[in-house]
Structure 1
Amino acid sequence: MASTTPNYISIYDNTATANFIYISESVSEVLGWTPDEMIGKGAYEFFHPDDINALTRVHSANVMNEKMSSMVAYRTRHKDGHFVIIETLVHYCYDVLMCTNYLYDPSDAGHKIRSNSVDEVFVVNQDGSLELVGAWNDSQERMQKLLQTQHKWINNRVTHVQEPRFCLILNRYTEESTIVFVSQMAERLVGAQCDQVLGRPFLDYVSERDGQVVQQQLDMTKGSDMIMRMRFDWVMDKEHGATQAVEAIVGSSNDGLVVVIRLAPRMTMS
């Protein structure tokens, strides 16, 4: 079941200017822009001027601390000139940030579910100040700790060693959750050739023993707006039974499911 709150997918690069490299079609319903009008431009071009300082801090923390799941509400510009409040769920994926974006409605059940299933939630207030909300310990001291970074961009680029991750977009309207986008890092981590993965059911790459649970988790994500964390064995070579343990986080939008995957230590029974 798709969300009744208008939403869309966006992908930023991990530079300091956060350039759009992909935006799904539903952005037009939310912001009036077409994807072609936004792709290639820096995200800060669309933010409210008073919100930029706060969003710069959040973006820096997401990139430098490689956050798997955070959310921030802020003002962004509609094509007709007025500003609307968007909440963006960010899943950092090595060289890009995979995002699902919703019109902000704090009374919406989906908003409350998302807030309770991400690692932290920030709100940029009308005066441009940043606030940590929805946490048991939402003190100013904790917020400052979450935003601390050890690394910096050099010439607009990330230069420190990062954890390898790859990302996918799945078609939420197919029973098999077919793969419609995969990042190049999939080849390095799990040996998946991108051109061979596209159009295939996601469960083709989930081990048989994990398949039922993963399917249930995907269905829960589609139906509830919950951010789902999963652990399963990725099938690298079905013929020879080769698998790789991975951890994944899944977010939902009306335009698809966003998945970020990283390697997981293989668990053994002693």
Structure 2
Amino acid sequence: MNLEKENLTHNELIERIFIEYRESDKAKYTSLFLSSFSNNKLSHRSGLAVFSIMQSFPKHSFTISEDSTPNKQLFDKMSDEDKEFVISRMPCKYCASLKQVNYRKDFILGCFLEIGGLIGTDIQNYYCYLSEANKLKVTQPTESDFRIFSEILTILLEADEKDTVKKTLQSKIDKIKGFKSNAEQRQALLETLGYSSILETDEHKGFLEYYTNFASAPKKTHSSDWNYPVDFWLGKDGINKEAFKFWFGEYSQLEKFWK
């Protein structure tokens, strides 16, 4: 089957996502994520973003939000063909996907290989990222990986109360010895720490226990291009130690960040 370009229904794609999710393994995803810091294999880092979201992502059928339901009187007068067209242009209330999905693997795969995290947050990305990450062989992190990740976490923990992840902290992370990255890749990394609930706030939670539809998630400012919830994170919010232990508790090299 050629999956470079394929027309799928929303429900077919959701089913494929959960097939891949059932075959995924947390230990493998965290090991790949950690190993990416020194070898700069961004494909190893990308999978954890979606795996984090899947912790609370609901298995569901295509459902239209009541807020977007068309006027009943007008809708009832439409032909079956017109009704189907109207429904086809409405997003699912759980994931914002349309009923029919034109799956394009080529562009999504490029982001998976080159960004190290999510660019788009639709279900096409979830399927591609999980299926590609599941194909990777486990790579164990090295001492350099633990050092780099520890330095990133230390920068976040030592941030001033009102610091965001968007300027000063990014600049400091960019200067870590042995860590090659550009601004887009650092943003994707920090957003992954948000999805995983490691970087969250009391009001704006990650996906470890709470699901938020990105399409309706709030933005800190109208012009912000950062994804929820790290968009709202400030230095005073620190690190969620319980979430950190959930993801990286098997690594004694990182235990100071959850104890």
Calculate the TM-score normalised by the size of structure 2.
Answer: 0.28
Name which structure has the greater RCO, CA cutoff 8 Å, separation 6+.
2
User: Which is richer in strand?
Assistant: 1
| TM-score under structure 1 length normalisation | 0.27
Q: Which structure shows the higher helix fraction?
A: 2
